[in-house]
Amino acid sequence: MYFPYLRGRQYELLALRELARNGLITSSVIPIIEPIKITSTFTGALTAFQKANLQIALITNPDVGELAGENESTSRIIGVLRDFQNTVPTVLLNKSTGNVLMDLQQASIFEKDIIAILDNRDFLDAYSELFDGISPIYTLFPDERAIRRIIKGNRVLFADKFFRRNRNADYPEDEFFSDDHLYYSEEGYDGFGDYSVIGKEYIDSGFAPYAVAIHIVYLADDNSLRIKHFVSDSNGDTSDVAGKFYEAVTKLYDWYMAGQKRQLTAGLQILLDHYRNRTFPGLPTLKKLSVMHHLELMGKFLDGRLN
């Protein structure tokens, strides 16, 4: 089982909506959304998953965005949980967790009904106290011995696999991404998760880039997951972003045609179509397509649908 962790930015929500609407994501993939605000795009993504009869997890105590730290945020999110029965309530282990669990209990949502995310060992004692004798549906946590000793069942290996650089021009052509999908089961985990090709760092503002980079994960010959960074060449200033995109997508097209047809997904096909049509989708859509590709590829792999 794969648990991609996404924030509720528009391009991430649109990626999820399109995957669900078009049958490109399966029950092997349970996305986790940390909502940053309640919008029609947000509810649209949840609606698409509900219509597709797929589960999607929803953070009830977000750390970032407009909903972080607001007294009414949890009650608003609980209202969303009531409206969408396929959503799985999920809590971050932080200073608010105890209060959030009490709010959930008042809505008849109990510890055994939720997903817990423990990515900071400073809250390990809080986890032990709050979930004393109770196993959440899943607990996501990093590969740290102190945490492994405490969490005995329903364990999901969780880490940020995307190595963000300060500048797009700094990305290497190719690097290792993950092999958790190959070994999680034999290492005693029920699933694995990451922050896809976005990374854990939350950035809510865009800027005109000097370089355009397209981040595409792919399965290597040994089925480990690697990531290609297709970076533009004319990176001296911020002009002609569309031209920079075409430089990057040309490299992607050449790589794909050189023997990577195994990697084909709907998101990747759209990028290849932009190359052939010499069209520029815009930078947010570029991120959306990269996320779509990653999630569809992992679902295909887990379902045994790759050649």
- Per-residue pLDDT tens, the chain, 307 aa: give them: 999 999 999 999 999 999 999 999 999 999 999 999 999 999 999 999 999 999 999 999 999 888 887 668 888 999 999 999 899 999 999 999 999 999 999 999 999 999 999 999 999 999 999 999 899 999 999 999 999 989 988 999 999 999 999 999 999 999 999 999 999 999 999 999 999 999 998 887 667 889 999 999 999 999 999 999 999 999 889 999 999 999 999 999 999 999 999 999 999 999 999 999 999 999 999 999 999 999 999 999 999 988 6
CA angle 115, 187, 60 (to 5 degrees): 10
pLDDT of 105-149, one tens digit each?
A: 999 999 999 999 999 999 999 999 999 989 999 999 999 999 998
pLDDT at 107: 92
pLDDT at 220: 97
Q: Which amino acid is at 268?
A: L
Per domain, the residue ranges of the chain are 2-302
The sign of the dihedral angle between the CA atoms of 202, 53, 106, 127 is negative
Please give the model's pTM, rounded to 2 decimal places: 0.95
Question: Is the domain 2-302 a CATH 3.10.20 member?
Answer: no
Instruction: Show the tokens assigned to 233.
Output: 């060449």
pLDDT at 198: 95
pLDDT at 288: 97
pLDDT at 206: 67
**Residue 160: count of CB within 10 angstroms of its CB:** 17
pLDDT at 196: 97
Helix axes 40-51, 73-83, angle to 10 degrees: 30
- Dist. CA 4–CA 236, nearest whole Å: 34
pLDDT at 26: 93
Q: Reduce the DSSP state of residue 92 to 3 states and report it.
A: strand
Pairing of strands 225-231, 174-178: antiparallel
CA angle 115, 117, 122 (to 5 degrees): 145
